[in-house]
Amino acid sequence: MTPLHLASEKGHVEVVRVLLSHQRGINTIPNLDEDGWAPLHFATSWGHVGVVHELLHHQSAINTITIQTKDSGTALYLASGNGHVDVVRELLRHQPGIDTITSQTKSGGTALHWASGKGHVDVVRALLNHQGGIGTIPIPQENGWTPLHFASSQGHVEVVRTLLSCQPGINTIPIPEQLGCTPLHFAILQGHADVVGELL
């Protein structure tokens, strides 16, 4: 782990600024640690929006936005899954392309999948509203799960409402996963009556 990795993980904005200004003497972006994490991954995972801002204003950091770690996905995926909506917005401002949002992990998960499954409704809204939204694209994971499957199975009714409002008609179209189960099936299996009511 480089000094910049450590400062980014701990959220020390001033230290990050100093390290970036003296980068000739240290290993900096896009240097990855043994797990494929750049300093940006640490800052986004922990929600350090000030550090993320500094890193993204450093020219070479832009290239690390789309780098996937060995097991956790992109910086946007990490920020989304941990519910850091301010970091998500900062990342989307610097990398506005829809491919940033639809970038998938090895299992096919996206930032929207993870945020939906964790119940981070503000993050879900930010992702769906970005550049007109991707709400009309039910992105299935490798196993056929969409963000709506995740939100329904976990009982996140506000996320379910948000997804349904951005995907008109999706509740009338069954989206089965690999075993043939729809989001409604999973909500019923888990006993989430409020979600079942939204899906009917």
pTM: 0.86
- The maximal CA–CA distance of the chain, rounded, in angstroms, is 61
Asked if pLDDT for residue 98 goes beyond 70, the answer is no
Query: What does the pLDDT look like over 125-171, one tens digit per residue?
Result: 999 888 665 544 556 666 778 889 999 999 999 999 999 887 655 55
Can you give the pLDDT at residue 172?
46
Q: Contact at 8 Å (CB) between 42 and 54?
A: no
Q: Which two tokens stand for residue 48?
A: 């350090």
Query: pLDDT at position 27, please?
Result: 47
* Average pLDDT value for residue range 60-88: 85
1 pLDDT more than 90: no
- Give residue 86's pLDDT: 98
Region 96-123 average pLDDT? 84
Q: How many Cβ atoms are within 10 Å of 64's Cβ, its own excluded?
A: 21
> According to DSSP H, which parts of 103-156 are helical?
111-118, 121-129, 147-154
Average pLDDT, rounded, for the chain = 84
What pLDDT shows up at residue 130? 82
> What are the chain's domains?
1-97 (1.25.40.20), 104-199 (1.25.40.20)
CA distance 101 to 27: 29
- pLDDT over 90 for what percent of the chain? 49
Mean pLDDT of 102-107: 76
Per-residue pLDDT, 134: 53
Residue-level pLDDT at 167: 65
Residue 45 has pLDDT above 50, yes or no: yes
